[in-house]
């Protein structure tokens, strides 16, 4: 069953269809939220809030856009609300990557795992140096696997603008990573 059919069933009150939608999109949505807020507890709260809002406003969803794009736009808005609340309360949050984002493997030697951890830290620092626009596009594409058309819909920009921002982000990241290794 595709997303449109599931949405229609959710509108009719089918809780199982809602569970299928949640399960289908969790794998892309949750890592995106974690990559933005850098806090797994907050990411869990935001993820739940996204689906509560989806359920609450499912009747407002229009078939003209992809459900996934609508879902990520809601997640982006709730994430921005999270940052606004943090700024108002002057809460400082950890900029460390969650343990689950580290690149370790039991098949690799401890030295290889150490190099991977260091590279992961360097990449995280480099991503944080991108402009907000570039960072958002990069994270939507790389951590969530969204198409540029979906990203354009989420951000309210043209596909060309999304491609341009991604190109600039990857060019800047390559340069920053090269600087780290010189």
Could you tell me the residue ranges of all domains in the chain? Answer: 1-94, 109-177
Write down the pLDDT at residue 111. Answer: 64
| Distance from C-alpha of 147 to C-alpha of 159, rounded to nearest angstrom | 9
Q: Which one of 3.30.1330.10, 1.10.540.10, 1.10.10.10, 2.40.340.10 gives the CATH number of domain 109-177? A: 1.10.10.10
Residue 10: both structure tokens together = 């959710």
Low-confidence ranges of the chain (pLDDT < 70): 87-120, 181-182
- Rounded to the nearest 10 degrees, the angle between the axes of helix 15-37 and helix 132-142 is 130
Write down the pLDDT at residue 106. Answer: 54
Write down the pLDDT at residue 112. Answer: 61
Half-sphere exposure of 33 (CA within 13 A, CB side): 30
- 1-94 and 109-177 agree in CATH topology: no
Backbone angles phi, psi at 90, to 5 degrees: 55, 35
Q: Which one of 3.40.50.2300, 1.10.1740.10, 1.25.40.80, 3.30.450.20 gives the CATH number of domain 1-94? A: 1.10.1740.10
- What sign does the dihedral 38-43-99-142 (CA atoms) show? negative
Write down the pLDDT at residue 148. Answer: 85
Residue 5: both structure tokens together = 């059919």
- What sign does the dihedral 119-124-127-129 (CA atoms) show? negative
Q: How many other CB atoms are there within 10 angstroms of residue 57's CB atom?
A: 11
Minimal CA–CA distance to 41: which of 128, 99, 108? 99
């Amino acid at each position: 069953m595709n997303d449109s059919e599931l949405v229609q069933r959710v509108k009719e009150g089918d809780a199982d269809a809602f569970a299928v939608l949640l399960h289908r999109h969790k794998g892309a949505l949750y890592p995106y939220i974690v990559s933005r807020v850098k806090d797994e507890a907050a990411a869990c709260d935001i993820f739940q809030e996204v689906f509560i809002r989806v359920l609450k406003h499912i009747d407002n969803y229009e078939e003209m856009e992809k459900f996934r794009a609508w879902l990520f736009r809601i997640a982006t808005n709730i994430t921005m609300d999270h940052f606004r609340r943090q700024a108002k309360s002057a809460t400082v949050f950890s900029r460390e990557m969650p343990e689950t984002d580290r690149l370790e493997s039991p098949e690799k030697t401890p030295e290889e795992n150490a190099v991977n951890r260091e590279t992961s830290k360097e990449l995280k620092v480099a991503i944080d140096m991108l402009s907000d626009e570039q960072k958002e596009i990069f994270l939507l594409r790389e951590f969530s696997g969204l198409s540029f058309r979906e990203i354009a819909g989420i951000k309210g920009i043209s596909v060309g603008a999304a491609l341009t921002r991604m190109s600039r982000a990857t060019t800047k990241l390559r340069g920053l990573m090269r600087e780290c290794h010189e």
